[in-house]
Amino acid sequence: MPSRLEELKDGIRKALPDLDMVLAWGQGPDSLRRKPLFIVSQADIDKIVWDPCCSPNLAGYLTGLRGKKVGIVVKGCDCRSVVELIQEKLVDRAEVTIFGLHCEGTIDPAKVRATLPGDARGAFGDCRVSDGRIRFASDTSLQNLAASDAFYDKCLHCSDPNAGFCDYFIGERGTPPPVSTAPPDALERLEAMGLEERFRFWEQAMDRCVRCYACRNACPLCVCKDHCLAQSRDPHWVDQTDHPREKLMFQVIHALHTAGRCVECGECERACPMGLPVMALKRALNRQINELFDYRAGLDPEAIPPLFTFREEEDRIGEKKWS
Amino acid sequence: MPILEGKELHIIGFLCNWCSYGGADTAGVGRFVQPTDLRIIKTPCTGRINPLFIMRAFLNGADGVLVSGCHPRDCHYSQGNFFARRRLEVLRALLPVVGIAPERFAYTWVSASEGQRWKTVVERFTEQIHALGPIPAFADPGRIETCLRGQANPYGGSHALTA
């Protein structure tokens, strides 16, 4: 039986003649990271890598490639981003060919380096997942890590690791990781604090923020390009001063602009050079939207997003009583 | 003289032009005595209210934010308050995550004839905010808060909010 990677390469090989480009992952700067691979010729196909280190979400490139026939390789969360882009008509369904995969979780290099002793850069060779543990074979040793010590938090709380909406599904579908065993994510850790403590948490976190806007630039749904509120002087939503207030305001803008759209792919946190848990804000909004409107983003390209519509009588919204 | 003079908190009210602003006016014309912590910003419709208005107000140091518009089905533009209701209800979930007590924010519906109701809303909401006290402030006040709290303007402008 061919491996998943071979199956994926075969699929792309067959589809490539009809496409201008295929987006996949290739070798990255070190053994724990992969970078986007833009396949335009058959020779590029051999450079494809598929393993738990393929964390980048490639969906963000689609909006810049409109008008071209593009193939894209997606994990479960990436697929939801693509669905969201199609739903919002930012990407034309007819122009994209989706190769879906089942994802076992993606490696957080920072976590792995924190867990394993010594300078790990370049020391990991092969990386495999079996029985919920991650095995790294290096030149000299074999390391074995629990999923919670190696995967991104978002992967431990993944709702569906299978690409649910695709033209070609490669390999077999799998089940999401058990939530009961997952350690608390950033939102749960925040909610264990008191209100004042949460405010201080963000104050300190935003004090560390370098305001590079990597979170925004990595977000596949941040599509305003040159019209981002963060750079607008009129209206002047965000001040240029280096103050936690302004940086928190930007995070709030990002969260509210992706409310009901964010698929929790985790790109904002992955891109953050300071390791700030900025996705917690988006998770809180998504949870509320799910509770109020029974809606999750990225599942149905035909769905009407809940904030684009209303009901005269809302089932789950009560009116405040004053007396 | 207001009862709470000197102890007032900053409450920002976003009111729709057609119902609640009229309701507040009715309360004024009826000479109802109300707490004076509230500062009203008139908007064309609650549908015009971007949830970011509310977040910006809180981050700039507002202790409470009240949104009020036409009753459902009474919107001057038919649908504005229905959209607003969804947005504001979603926003409510964000406040506790950034450490702002969700009770600091409320939205309600007051029609232009409901002066008495407006008075009740303002009284109850002001009580609620006073029970919570001032909003947590950033350790470094920065210039907005310095201006808002009425201290000397570090940037030399004459008006407190033009710095």
Q: Above 60 in pLDDT, residue B156?
A: no
- Test A293 with B99 for CB contact under 8 angstroms: no
Dist. CA A284–CA B97, nearest whole Å: 7
CA atoms within 13 A of residue A297's CA, in its CB half-sphere: 29
Contact of A250 with chain B, judged by CB distance below 8 Å, is answered with no
Say if residue B126 is in the same domain as residue B149.
no
Give the other-Cβ count within 10 Å of B158's Cβ: 7
Chain A residues touching residue B143 (CB < 8 angstroms): 241
Quick one: B21 and B91 in the same domain? yes
**pLDDT for residue B4:** 61
Nearest to A323 among B52, B89, B120 (CB): B120
| CB proximity list for A72: less than 8 A, separation 6 or greater | A22, A23, A58, A59, A61, A62, A78, A82, A96, A97, A98, A99
The residue that leads in pLDDT, B135 or A140, is B135
Is position B102 within any domain?
Answer: yes
In a mutational test of the B interface, the residue from A207, A247, A322 whose CB has the highest number of chain B CBs within 10 Å is A322
Report the 10 Å Cβ neighbour count for A181.
Answer: 11
Are residues B154 and B124 part of one domain?
no
pLDDT of residue B152: 52
pLDDT band at B161; cut points 50, 70, 90: very low
Provide, as residue numbers in chain B, all residues whose Cβ is less than 8 Å from the Cβ of A243.
138, 140, 142
CB count, 10 Å around CB of B74?
A: 14
Q: What is the pTM of this model?
A: 0.92
Closest to B90 (Cβ–Cβ): which among A198, A202, A285? A285
Do B23 and B78 share a domain, yes or no?
Answer: yes
Q: Which residue has the tokens 């792309």?
A: A12
Closest residue on chain B to A187 (Cα): B97
What CATH number has the domain bearing residue B118?
3.40.50.960
Question: What ipTM did this prediction achieve?
Answer: 0.93
Q: Is it the case that residue B158 has pLDDT exceeding 60?
A: no
The Cα–Cα gap between A206 and A208 comes to 5
Is B79 in the same domain as B149? no
Per-residue pLDDT at B7: 83
Check CB contact under 8 Å for A256 and B94.
Answer: yes
HSE (CB half, 13 Å, CA atoms) of B161? 3
The domain tally of chain B equals: 2
Report the half-sphere exposure of A223 (CA within 13 A, side-chain side): 22
Please choose, from the candidates A286, A259, A300, A254, the residue with its C-alpha nearest in 3D space to the C-alpha of residue A80.
A300
Q: How many residues does chain B have?
A: 163
Cα angle value A65/A107/A250 (rounded, 5°):
60
What integer is the mean pLDDT of B103-120? 97
pLDDT at B162 over 50: no
B3 in any annotated domain = no
Taking Cα atoms as reference points, which of A63, A50, A53 lies closest to residue A24? A50
Q: Is the pLDDT of residue B157 over 60?
A: no
If asked whether residues B115 and B160 sit together in one domain, one would say: no
Does B115 share its domain with B152? no
Of A207, A214, A143, A134, the closest CA to residue A177 belongs to A134
Q: Any idea where the domains of chain A sit in the sequence? A: 184-318
State which residue of chain B sits closest to A235, comparing Cα positions. B53
Note down the domain range covering B150.
Answer: 138-163
Instruction: Kindly determine whether residue A307 and residue B83, on different chains, have CB atoms separated by under 8 Å.
Output: yes
**Distance between CA atoms of residues A195 and B97, nearest Å:** 8
State the Cα–Cα distance between residues A40 and A17, nearest whole angstrom.
9
Q: Are strands A96-100 and A126-130 parallel, antiparallel or unpaired?
A: unpaired
Pair type for strands A96-100 and A168-169 = parallel
Which of B60, B72, B98 is closest, CB to CB, to A199? B98
Nearest to B52 by CA among A258, A223, A253: A253
The model's pLDDT over B33-51, given as tens digits with 9 standing for 90+, comes to: 999 999 999 999 999 999 9
Same domain, B126 and B151: no
Percent of chain B with pLDDT over 90: 80
Which chain B positions have a beta carbon within 8 Å of A314's beta carbon?
85-86, 89
* C-alpha–C-alpha distance, residues A206 and A228, integer Å: 19
Please give the residue that has the higher pLDDT: either B153 or A249: A249
Mean pLDDT of B117-122: 97
**Interchain contact, A201 vs B99, CB within 8 Å:** yes
Distances (CA, A) of B148 to A47, A144, B59, B74, B154: 58, 56, 12, 36, 12
Cβ neighbors of A293 (< 8 A, separation 6 or more) are: A306, A316, B86
State the 10-residue block means of pLDDT for chain A, 323 residues long. Answer: 87 96 93 93 95 94 96 97 96 96 92 74 71 76 83 92 95 85 91 96 96 95 90 90 94 96 96 96 97 96 96 93 81
